[in-house]
Amino acid sequence: MKAHIAVLAGDGIGPEVVVEAQQCLEAIARRYGHEFRFEAAPVGAIAIDTTGSPLPDATLALSKASDAILFGAIGTPKYADPTLKVRPEQGILKLRTELGLYANLRPVTCFESVIDASPLKPELLVGVDIMVIRELTGGIYFGAKTRTPTSASDVCTYTVPEVERIARLGARLARERRGKLTSVDKANVLETSRLWREVVVRVLRDEFPDVALDHMYIDAAAMHLLRRPADFDVVITENMFGDILTDEASMLPGSLGLCPSASLGDGPRGMYEPIHGSAPDIAGKGIANPYATILSAAMLLRYSLGLTTEATTLEQAVVGALAAGVRTGDLKPRGAAATTREAGAAVLARL
């Protein structure tokens, strides 16, 4: 097949890890006879420096014209002040809104060969395979905001259709997995959470009676994610809760550098990125972990291009590299830490 892939590497370690993922996609294309065309564009701090905007019009146009977007990371210390009117984060928020990417899929998989890298006891991690779906374009991040010298407010709003589409996506994925869906909210306190729970109950009851549904408050979910993580299958939750919960969940496999993500809407186009940040403290040193970005590329193959076999091949290549002991510094290497390029080369060798 032919595919046009936008490459938005961004800032910090973004370009370093994205290049490894792109090389893996190129290797997959050669192996399976596909034709992938890659086109790069600036986003984030580097885009502000060159164009004045964190999401230039040309970058947005490229993203809309592509079949999928491979994304790196954004942000630099130069733009870390949250009071700035123009910030790198505005670029990714606008990109999600403009492309209608309302669901963020974050798989959490504990790889057996690096289970010792996790701060949790190994016996808690056996069989951990979680898919967290975070609502991405609603809630407090996108609500009305006010600020006076003495007060500030951020309004959290959800509509029935916004909750319905997340519930349906979560239930469909649960059907393909272990058939269990956990909805995380704060319905004992928040009105938006009460709406969320009512809608999820109705959708599952009327459309997915074969999927087991349970509910959990966000504070209890945060606790049980560390206490009994293997009990979770598919988790759905609102924007801010999902942002926090998935960063906590990243510690199960041992590093943010093992956690990919996919941001999806109603069509096949999606944006694929590691959940880690731009890590400016290690940028340019060649020591960043590229595995999460490579695994994000595998999600790109699966969800946007419909290439399931190719996606599995790439995922297994990552598993093989980890099993061979190719660990970057964040994965508690037993010997010398692998560089970014060495980790990427180890995956390529298995393709």
Instruction: Give the number of C-alpha atoms closer than 13 A to the C-alpha of residue 212, restricted to the C-beta side.
Output: 7
**Per residue, what are the HEC states of 157-216?**
CCCHHHHHHHHHHHHHHHHHCCCEEEEEECCCCCHHHHHHHHHHHHHHHHHCCCCEEEEE
Per annotation, catalytic residue among 129, 154, 231, 247: 247
- C-alpha 16/C-alpha 22 separation (Å) is 10
What sign for the dihedral angle of Cα 137, 91, 300, 11? negative
- Give the per-residue pLDDT at 82: 84
CATH of 129-251, one of 3.30.450.20, 3.30.1330.40, 3.40.50.2300, 3.30.1180.10: 3.40.50.2300
**Which H or E run includes 328?**
none
Domain ranges of the chain: 1-103+265-351, 129-251
Question: Is 186 a known active-site residue?
Answer: yes
Pull the structure tokens for residue 241. 């809760």
Domain 1-103+265-351: CATH superfamily is: Isopropylmalate Dehydrogenase (3.40.718.10)
Per annotation, catalytic residue among 186, 272, 291, 303: 186
Q: 2 and 35 in contact (C-beta within 8 Å)? A: yes
Question: Is 210 a known active-site residue?
Answer: no
Question: Is 141 a known active-site residue?
Answer: yes
Per annotation, catalytic residue among 2, 219, 266, 285: 219
Under DSSP, is residue 229 helix (H, G, I), strand (E, B) or coil? helix
Question: Is 247 a known active-site residue?
Answer: yes
Per annotation, catalytic residue among 102, 141, 272, 291: 141
- Give the per-residue pLDDT at 258: 95
What Cα–Cα distance (Å) separates residue 15 from each residue in 262, 278, 315?
18, 9, 21
- C-alpha 152/C-alpha 128 separation (Å) is 40
Pull the structure tokens for residue 342. 């060495």
Partners of 134 in the beta sheet?
104, 237
Against a cut of 0.85, is the pTM above it? yes
Q: 244 and 140 in contact (C-beta within 8 Å)? A: no
**Which H or E run includes 14?**
helix 14-32
Pull the structure tokens for residue 261. 């993500």
**1-103+265-351 and 129-251 share one fold:** no
- Give the per-residue pLDDT at 137: 92
Q: 284 and 316 in contact (C-beta within 8 Å)? A: no
Predicted confidence pLDDT, tens digits, the chain (351 residues): 999 999 999 999 999 999 999 999 999 999 999 999 999 999 999 999 999 999 999 999 999 999 999 999 999 999 999 889 999 999 998 999 999 999 999 999 999 999 999 999 999 999 899 999 999 999 999 899 999 999 999 999 999 999 999 999 999 999 999 999 999 999 999 999 999 999 999 999 999 999 999 999 999 999 999 999 999 999 999 999 999 999 899 889 999 999 999 999 999 999 999 999 999 999 999 999 999 999 999 999 999 999 999 999 999 999 999 999 999 999 999 899 999 999 999 999 999
- Give the per-residue pLDDT at 83: 87
- Give the per-residue pLDDT at 49: 96
Question: Is 158 a known active-site residue?
Answer: no
Under DSSP, is residue 151 helix (H, G, I), strand (E, B) or coil? coil
